[in-house]
């Protein structure tokens, strides 16, 4: 069968789709991706055919000031940005692509409602892949009315409780216990486990017997971080641990000046090259970064900035996985103390280990293949 993978966002929306796409390709199916134009080179670098669709929602490289967390603002940004504005544009582009590429099945990230509308209008089944860990940002009371406006413009009847997204098959790479219990997984959901590779060649920064911390603000929020990198680096200067810091391809590590020998700055490093050697993670709490930490059983310190990160922070605190700091008020000393605590106190690692063990009981991506094939039957 011909399967079109669609996503409405950046790396955090693309990466959860990749293991499923590779499993389908290995089973002999024809695969292509479509996402925002900025992501096409990244998708192609991962080895897939890629087509541009919809507007660019990722970082344009411009530096922006750091804003205090405002959950109402983030709700409005998702509802009005991803649903009211982006879904119609993606529906138009993905519809044209389906005419040309003629897929049998669509696999959509949970934020890509425009592509789901295309599947429904064409009479195609689709699967929805979850990309938000806590499951709070993309919720019915926020999305339903706006989505129904877009559906009406396409001649589709109204839906409630995100039934259009969840009607066929939902695939989740996140531990079910991490999801906010107010928003349980739909009955069509099936969990899968993204296997992690073992340790590769020993990195030059690794010091045997010394704790290691990984610090990242992801691929979009790093350009909206103001002085956060500087504050965090000042705090990490006083940590007795190797600190691996990635600032993203749009920032220059040199702008942060010289660092002590235990702090190693880079633009980008693959998570799977770093996390096997780590003992904790300091991040913004994006679902992609969080999924990596969970996969390796690592406790964390979060500095949520926006999107679904504050909701992920709630669950990290509630489950005892680590500490959450205010992104505006956190001082270097606060960051130092929080990181030291998660490295020192075993309860955080034990809680993270329980989530790692939970996801390892889930089937591997290869087991999603018959589920997807079954949608055509």
Give the model confidence (pLDDT) of 233-281 as tens digits: 999 999 999 999 999 888 889 999 999 999 999 999 989 999 999 999 9
Instruction: Please give the average per-residue pLDDT across 5-12, as a whole number.
Output: 93
Q: Tally the domains of the chain.
A: 2
* Residue 136 in domain: yes
Instruction: Please indicate, yes or no, whether residues 238 and 162 belong to a single structural domain of this protein.
Output: no
* Residue 205 in domain: no
pLDDT in tens, 93-129: 999 999 999 999 999 999 999 999 999 999 999 999 9
Instruction: Please indicate, yes or no, whether residues 368 and 348 belong to a single structural domain of this protein.
Output: no
String of DSSP letters for 346-370? HHHHHHHHHHHHHHHTSPPGGGHHH
Enclosing domain of residue 346: 212-360
String of DSSP letters for 103-152? -SEEEEETT-HHHHHHHHHHT--EEEE---SSS-SS-HHHHHHHHHHHHH
Kindly report the pTM of this predicted structure.
0.94
Angle at 314 between CA 61 and CA 234, to 5 degrees: 50
Q: How far apart are CA 330 and CA 158, in angstroms?
A: 44
Instruction: Please indicate, yes or no, whether residues 223 and 328 belong to a single structural domain of this protein.
Output: yes
Q: How far apart are CA 20 and CA 128, in angstroms?
A: 12
* Residue 85 in domain: yes
């Amino acid at each position: 069968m011909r399967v079109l993978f669609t996503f409405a966002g950046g790396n955090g929306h693309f990466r959860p789709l990749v293991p499923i796409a590779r499993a389908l390709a290995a089973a002999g199916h024809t695969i292509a991706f479509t996402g925002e134009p900025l992501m096409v080179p990244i998708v192609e670098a991962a080895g897939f055919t890629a087509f541009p669709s919809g507007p660019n929602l990722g970082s344009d490289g411009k530096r922006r000031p750091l804003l205090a967390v405002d959950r109402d603002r983030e709700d409005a940004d998702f509802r009005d940005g991803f649903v009211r504005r982006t879904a119609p544009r993606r529906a138009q582009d993905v519809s044209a692509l389906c005419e040309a590429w003629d897929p049998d099945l669509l696999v959509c990230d949970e934020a890509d409602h425009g592509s789901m509308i295309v599947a429904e209008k064409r009479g195609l089944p689709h699967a929805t892949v979850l990309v938000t860990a806590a499951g709070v940002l993309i919720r019915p009371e926020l999305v339903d009315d706006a989505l129904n406006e877009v559906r009406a413009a396409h001649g589709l009847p109204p839906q409630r409780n995100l039934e259009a997204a969840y009607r066929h098959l939902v695939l989740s790479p996140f531990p079910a216990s991490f999801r906010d219990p107010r928003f349980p997984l739909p009955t069509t959901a099936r969990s899968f486990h993204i296997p992690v590779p073992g340790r590769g060649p020993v990195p030059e920064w690794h010091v045997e017997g010394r704790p290691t911390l990984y610090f990242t603000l992801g691929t979009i929020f790093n350009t909206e971080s103001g002085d956060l990198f500087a504050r965090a680096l000042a705090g990490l200067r006083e940590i007795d641990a190797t600190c691996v810091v990635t600032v993203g391809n749009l920032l220059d590590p040199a702008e942060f000046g010289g660092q002590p020998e235990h702090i190693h700055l880079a633009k980008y490093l693959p998570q799977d090259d770093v996390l096997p050697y780590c003992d904790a993670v300091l991040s913004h709490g994006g679902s992609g970064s969080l999924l990596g930490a969970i996969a390796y059983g690592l406790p964390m310190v979060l500095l949520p900035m926006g999107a679904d990160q504050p909701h992920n922070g709630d669950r990290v605190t509630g489950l005892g996985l680590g500490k959450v700091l205010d992104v505006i008020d956190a001082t270097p000393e606060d960051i130092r103390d929080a990181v030291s605590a998660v490295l020192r106190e075993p309860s955080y690692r034990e809680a993270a280990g329980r989530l790692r063990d939970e996801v390892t009981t889930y089937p591997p991506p290869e087991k999603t293949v018959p589920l997807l094939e079954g949608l055509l039957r």
